[in-house]
Amino acid sequence: MTSTPSATEIGLHERLRVATQALHTMAEKHPVQARLVRGEVDRSSYAEYLRLMLGVHRAVESALETHLHDPVLAPVERAQFRAGLLEQDLDALEATSPGKPTPVQRMFSLAVRGAGPLELLGMQYVLEGSTNGGRFIARAVSAPLGLRPGDGTAYLNPYGADQQARWKEFCGALGAVDCTWDEGERVVDGALVMFGSLIQLFNEAEAAPRHAN
């Protein structure tokens, strides 16, 4: 009889990477993201993106703050929290803060509030992983928007030259998380929820009428 492997035998980071690959690609290729990568945004649409992500980070970081004492969240540090950077970027753009939550945003907030530490770890894996592409997006949008380095792009590129080292450190910490195979599945579930929610949020933003800052 073959026993179920432990999470550490395969590696939690590898499980997350493989399980989320399809949704990761969908999110990455979404028109909202594709325009950012190509630098095809104006200040208004860029501010809308930052507002959307501010709602996401506020929800997840508030939930993480409640559970940071849990050993399973050892890979997560407050230094990874980026809601404050999003607020800073919106100020730099002289843009308003998020308004009334949309239906999809409300559903996402409810999903986060119902998540436990394991699911939240999966959600943070997605958000922390976004720094890999974020530094390239920061360069892509800076020129067309007339932004100086770090001025309006602190969220996208929080670590600067240390980004790759920080991601490697985070992935190493994931590999050291002591959890069973089934617990690892809950981490994967959290990551899938995050990617799926981001796609839904992007879809909603794409369908909404544009408005000024």
SS (H, E, C) 111-150: HHHCCCHHHHHHHHHHHHHCHHHHHHHHHHHHHHHCCCCC
Residue entry with tokens 């849990």? 70
DSSP sequence for 15-56 = HHHHHTHHHHHHHHHSHHHHHHHHT---HHHHHHHHHHHHHH
**pLDDT tens-digit profile of 11-32?**
899 999 999 999 999 999 999 9
Q: Which amino acid is at 49?
A: Y
121 domain-assigned: yes
Contact status, residue 206 vs residue 33, Cβ threshold 8 Å: no
Q: How many CA atoms lie within 13 A of 79 on its CB side?
A: 9
Chain-centre distance for alpha carbon 160: 17
Domain span holding position 46: 17-206
69 domain-assigned: yes
Contact status, residue 51 vs residue 95, Cβ threshold 8 Å: yes
3 domain-assigned: no
8 domain-assigned: no
Asked if residue 95 has pLDDT above 70, the reply is yes
Contact status, residue 37 vs residue 137, Cβ threshold 8 Å: yes
**pLDDT tens-digit profile of 25-70?**
999 999 999 999 999 999 999 999 999 999 999 999 999 999 999 9
- CA separation for the pair 212, 112 (Å, rounded): 29
Asked if residue 209 has pLDDT above 70, the reply is no
User: What value does the mean pLDDT of the chain take?
Assistant: 92
- The pLDDT value recorded for residue 98 is 78
List the CATH number of the domain containing 163. 1.20.910.10
40 domain-assigned: yes
Angle at 204 between CA 192 and CA 202, to 5 degrees: 50
Chain-centre distance for alpha carbon 183: 21
- The pLDDT value recorded for residue 4 is 52
Average pLDDT value for residue range 90-111:
90
Count of structural domains within the chain? 1
Q: How confident is the model at residue 208 (pLDDT cuts 50, 70, 90)?
A: confident
H or E element that contains 191 = helix 181-207
Residue among 79, 26, 33, 76 nearest 52 (CA): 33
**pLDDT tens-digit profile of 147-206?**
987 789 999 999 999 999 999 999 999 999 999 999 999 999 999 999 999 999 999 999
pTM of the model: 0.92
4 domain-assigned: no
